[in-house]
Each structure stands twice: as C-alpha cells, then as structure tokens.
C-alpha cells in the first residue's frame, strides 16, 4: 500500500488514468490524497496548467471538489462523488457509480451506470449494461444496452434503451422528453401533471391512468393524449407495452447500490492493511524456514568438518589454534601451516590427508563457505 499527499493548484485541470478500479471523492481541502494497492503503481505529473495521475492498481483519490476533472480511462469499476464541476469521463471498463456531481459527460461504460443526485446536463453516449438514476435534473443518453430506470426527474429527458424503460417525473409541469425502448415503457407522473403524450407502441397495448386521463388501448400503433391542460411534448416509443400512471412510484432499490459503493471504498484501507499483514506474515514464514534450512545446512557442514578433522587427527594430523600440521615418520609432508606436533600415525584412508587439509585450509582462509566445504568433503568420501 502507498499513500501520497500532494498540494494541488486549484486552477489546474486534472486528468486521471487508472488501469484497475478507481474511487474519486471531492473534499474541501486543496491537498490531493492518494492510496493505491501497489506501492509502485502511482504516478503524478504537473506541467503547463495540467495535472495528471496514472495508477496501475486499485486507486482511491481525494481531490479538491472544485477542480476540473477528466477521467480518461478506467480499466475496472469507478466511483465518483462530491465534485462540484462538470466531470468528463472517457471509457470505464466495468460499472460506474456517480453521486453528488455538478454534471458529467460520459463516453462509454462497459457495465452498469448508477447516478444519484446529479446536476444539469448529464450526457451519456453508451452504456453496455443497465442505467439506474435518481434525482437527475436532465439526462440525455445515446445507447443503453439493457434496461433504464430513472426516478425523480425534474428536467428534460432523452433516453434510449435496448430493454425496458421506466421514468418517474417529480414536477407537475412536465419537461420535454423522448423515451425510446426496445421493450416496455412505464411513465410515472404527478397527479396534477401537465403535458402532451405522443405514444407509439408498434401494435402493442397502451394504458393511461394519470392526471384525469383513463383508458386502455389494445394493439394500438399511435396515440396522442393531453395531461391536464397540456404542455411540453413527451414522446414515448416502445417495442412492447406502454403504461402511464400517477398512482405509484417505481419499486427500485437504489439505496443499496450506492451504499454498497461507499462501503466498498470505506473498507479499502482495511483490506489493504490485511493484505499487507498477510504478506508480511508469509514473508516471515519464508524467512523462518530459510533460516532453519540454513541452520540445518550449517550444522550438517560443521559435523562433516569435525569428522574430517577427527579423521586427520587419527592419521597423525594435529589441529590446534595455530593451524594444521602433518607429521609422518618424523617428516613434514603435504601442506603445512603452523607448529609440528608429534602424533601416533594410523593407516591412510581413501581420501588423502593432503586433500582434507586443503579443504580445511580454504575454509580457514574463508575462500569457501562451510556448505561448500561440506560438498567437497562429501566428494572426497566417494
């Protein structure tokens, strides 16, 4: 985990690129705070009135709420909240959750789009999944691959969905609207709504129970009806059935979606801490086993060296604090360094004294390690 705090120039434009998930939260501070999952995955640059952030792992950003922000690309899911200005969003590979924004222009969302409380001018070019919205002043979409459900609309709507579309208006003077859906369309309006309905159901049924109008039309291709004293035109085009009512709001659980998004990022730091603790624990275990293995190897090497020294002593070689000496029949032979010491000789074994002495001498001079001495002594025994 890596946390970075950077003072920002509020007049700068901020551009963000994220390879994984991204969470951006607006604050009253002029300090950028970034938390990323991988310590080497965050980069910040500033030049010519432009600030840029690149993150290659999950990234949590707190930025000044008044900055002009462009989200150029997000590889995973994204969540944006608390930004006062209009946010430009390029491509989001997963889901996008928007809360309390001044407005946004969105090019592409691969998954679902959730909007809660957005200012004037929400523009969306393409959503691969479903669109869910609440408390939006105005909304314009290009193509929604799945269903579209928006509550508490107060401004103009231009909505196109491949599946079903459900729209609720919370103002009596209905705004201009175009709702085009491949499936069914359900429109909810206030009891005192005023507007002009222009409905095209392509041969399916139309049902109206709103603002003094009540009727059912089966296999109707086109129908025009005023609500109240009339007003702005609401054009509804459906591949399925059309329902217009003032009796009920849409039963969509928006709160759970937005609360889950916030809670997921609240636990971001805790999850990282847990991951780091587990990583450190695993590293300590590896170190423990490596140390234990090294200790066992060193103990094995020490035993073999002591065996070699014992073998030399039994053949007339004396090991003392000054070094190693070989004396056989009153003559010094082989490699000698130190003071001769008299010793009763035993027959020479398979590996010569000179070879054993050479290994021990190299060990004493630290030319080889105890493990390497172990390997050499093992080879001499064969």
State how far the alpha carbon of 316 is from the alpha carbons of 201, 266, 271, 350, 378, in Å. 111, 76, 67, 15, 21
Which range of 58-67, 218-227, 240-249, 349-358 scores highest in mean pLDDT? It is 58-67
pLDDT band at 307 (very low <50, low <70, confident <90, very high): low
Domain annotation covers residue 359: yes
Domain annotation covers residue 272: no
Element housing 270 (H / E):
helix 268-314
For residues 102 and 172, state if they share a domain: yes
In this predicted structure, what is the pLDDT of residue 88? 96
In this predicted structure, what is the pLDDT of residue 291? 44
For residues 235 and 302, state if they share a domain: no
Domain annotation covers residue 70: no
For residues 199 and 138, state if they share a domain: yes
Domains contained in the chain, number: 2
Which range of 114-123, 183-192, 261-270 scores highest in mean pLDDT? It is 183-192
**Cβ contact 7:66 at 8 Å:** no
For residues 310 and 233, state if they share a domain: no
In this predicted structure, what is the pLDDT of residue 278? 53
For residues 369 and 220, state if they share a domain: no
Higher pLDDT, 359 or 172: 172
Domain annotation covers residue 49: no
Encode pLDDT of 39-98 as tens digits: 788 999 998 889 999 999 999 999 999 999 999 999 999 999 999 999 999 999 999 999
Closest listed residue to residue 101, CA positions, set 83, 124, 88: 83
Encode pLDDT of 127-184 as tens digits: 999 999 999 989 999 999 999 999 999 899 999 999 999 999 999 999 999 999 999 9
| Beta bridge partners of residue 88, listed in sequence order | 70, 105
Domain hosting 342: range is 297-381
For residues 140 and 232, state if they share a domain: yes
Higher pLDDT, 378 or 20: 20
For residues 106 and 154, state if they share a domain: yes
Domain annotation covers residue 21: no
Residue 121 to residue 99: CA distance in whole angstroms:
14
| 257, 289, 323 - which closes a domain | 257
Task: Label the pairing between strands 213-217 and 206-210.
Answer: antiparallel
Domain annotation covers residue 52: no
For residues 110 and 220, state if they share a domain: yes
Residue 110 to residue 96: CA distance in whole angstroms:
9
For residues 113 and 252, state if they share a domain: yes
| Lowest-confidence segment of 186-195, 268-277, 333-342 by average pLDDT | 333-342
Domain annotation covers residue 252: yes
State how far the alpha carbon of 201 is from the alpha carbons of 218, 232, 278, 334, in Å. 10, 20, 59, 108
In this predicted structure, what is the pLDDT of residue 379? 67
In this predicted structure, what is the pLDDT of residue 212? 86
DSSP letter string over 287-340?
HHHHHHHHHHHHHHHHHHHHHHHHHHHHTTEEEETTEEEEEETTEE-S--BS--
User: In the predicted model, what is the mean pLDDT of residues 7-14?
Assistant: 89
Q: pTM (2 decimals)?
A: 0.68
For residues 127 and 236, state if they share a domain: yes
In this predicted structure, what is the pLDDT of residue 104? 94
User: In the predicted model, what is the mean pLDDT of residues 238-250?
Assistant: 86
In this predicted structure, what is the pLDDT of residue 203? 81
For residues 233 and 307, state if they share a domain: no
In this predicted structure, what is the pLDDT of residue 353? 59
**Cβ contact 160:180 at 8 Å:** yes
In this predicted structure, what is the pLDDT of residue 290? 46
Encode pLDDT of 97-119 as tens digits: 999 999 999 999 999 999 999 87
In this predicted structure, what is the pLDDT of residue 158? 96
User: In the predicted model, what is the mean pLDDT of residues 241-265?
Assistant: 68
Rounded (10°) CA dihedral 331, 334, 338, 343: -50
* pLDDT greater than 70 at residue 214: yes
Residue 35 to residue 23: CA distance in whole angstroms:
10
For residues 218 and 118, state if they share a domain: yes
């Amino acid at each position: 985990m890596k946390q970075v705090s950077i003072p920002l120039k509020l007049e700068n434009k901020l551009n963000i690129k994220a390879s994984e998930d991204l969470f951006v939260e607006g604050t009253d501070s002029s300090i950028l705070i970034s938390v990323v999952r991988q310590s080497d995955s965050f980069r910040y640059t500033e030049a010519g009135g432009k600030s840029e952030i690149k993150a290659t792992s999950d990234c949590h950003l707190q930025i000044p709420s008044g900055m002009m922000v462009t989200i150029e690309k997000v590889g995973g899911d994204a969540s944006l909240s608390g930004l006062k200005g209009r946010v430009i969003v390029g491509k989001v590979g997963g889901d996008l959750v928007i809360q309390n924004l001044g407005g946004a222009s969105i090019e592409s969302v691969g998954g679902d789009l959730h909007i809660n409380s957005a200012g004037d001018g929400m523009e969306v070019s393409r959503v691969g999944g479903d669109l869910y919205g609440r408390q939006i002043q105005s909304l314009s979409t290009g193509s929604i691959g799945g269903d579209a459900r928006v509550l508490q609309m107060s401004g103009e709507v231009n909505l196109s969905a491949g599946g079903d579309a459900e729209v609720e208006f919370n103002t009596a003077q209905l705004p201009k609207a175009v709702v085009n859906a491949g499936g069914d369309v359900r429109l909810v309006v206030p009891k005192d709504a005023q507007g002009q309905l222009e409905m095209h159901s392509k041969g399916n049924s139309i049902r109206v129970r709103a603002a003094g109008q009540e009727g059912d039309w089966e296999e109707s291709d086109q129908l025009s009806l005023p609500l109240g004293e009339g007003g702005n035109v609401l054009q509804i085009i459906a591949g399925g059935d059309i329902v217009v009512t003032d009796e009920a709001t849409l039963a969509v659980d928006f709160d759970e979606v937005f609360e889950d998004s916030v809670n997921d990022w609240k636990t971001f730091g805790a999850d990282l801490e847990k991951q780091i603790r587990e990583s450190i624990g695993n590293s300590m275990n590896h170190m423990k086993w490596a140390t234990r293995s090294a200790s066992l190897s060193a103990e094995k090497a020490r035993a073999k060296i002591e065996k070699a020294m014992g073998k030399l002593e039994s053949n007339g070689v004396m090991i003392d604090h000054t070094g190693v000496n070989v004396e056989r029949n009153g003559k010094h032979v082989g490699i000698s360094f130190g003071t001769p010491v008299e010793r009763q000789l035993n027959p020479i074994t398979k590996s010569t004294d000179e070879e054993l002495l050479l290994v021990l001498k190299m060990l004493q001079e630290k030319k080889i390690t105890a493990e390497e001495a172990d390997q050499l002594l093992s080879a001499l025994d064969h």
